[in-house]
Amino acid sequence: MSSKYSALKQECYEANMELNALGLVVYTFGNVSAVDRENKVFAIKPSGVPYEELKPEDMVIVDFDNNVVEGECRPSSDTKTHAYLYKTWEHIGGITHTHALYSVSWAQSQRDIPIFGTTHADHLTADIPCAAPMSDELISGNYEHNTGIQIVDCFKEKNLDSKEVEMVLVGNHGPFCWGKDAAKSVYNSRVLEEIAHMAYLTLQINPNAPRLKDSLIKKHYERKHGKNAYYGQ
């Protein structure tokens, strides 16, 4: 594979294969992209290609205006959403979208995922937001581009920081996650699915389960992410 984007394609390929290995996708559902900020392009999974058939060279290079720069295949149908998020949030380096079971179930319920426990607080201090279902006007327009607007508007409405909250549920659709690179966006997708599963079971056991108290939220988040963090080596 000889290309100036070989490393970017490899990063994207490995992230997509990890998404499959983690059981977050079924058949061809889901996609990961990886960005090259210097060249203002990103690599993304080709549309509708089974994971077992993917090769690094199959990854499609697209610019932030959704023009294919390099690749023989059509890019993911969600490409315009990725492009909008990359243009809007310049700090993100990778994006993952899945149709994972519990994450999608919460999205279909149109509910934020409450912060019930310390597993959730280890990763973020807020409920995982669910964006309101898209309006008919946006659906009939540039749908995938407008999904990006839907996500960004949700963060504005809920006063959330996309640097801290690296995941969202799109109402009646499913989850999008991001991170400093493609691998971190996949990691966040797996974390989201686990938290979604735990929250579902929590409400089955106790429909009136309370949110985690603020002192525990602060303690668990700051021990991993605060200025005096002491988790890990």
Q: Is the pLDDT of residue 140 over 60?
A: yes
Distance CA 91, CA 196 (A): 25
pLDDT digits (tens, 9 = 90+) for 84-104: 999 999 999 999 999 999 999
Distance CA 22, CA 83 (A): 25
Helix then strand then coil, % of the chain, to nearest 5: 45, 15, 40
Distance CA 13, CA 8 (A): 9
pLDDT at residue number 185: 98
- Given the residues 122, 153, 181, 200, the one annotated as active site: 122
Mean pLDDT of the region 142-154: 97
Mean pLDDT of the region 107-117: 98
The number of beta carbons lying within 10 Å of the beta carbon of residue 230 is 8
pLDDT at residue number 129: 98
Does residue 63 contact residue 69 with C-beta atoms inside 8 Å? yes
pLDDT at residue number 14: 98
**Model confidence band, residue 227 (pLDDT cutoffs 50, 70, 90):** confident
Distance CA 6, CA 56 (A): 8
Which one is predicted more confidently, 6 or 233? 6
Whole-number percent of the chain with pLDDT over 70? 99
| Global pTM value | 0.96
Active site residue 231: yes
Distance CA 26, CA 116 (A): 28
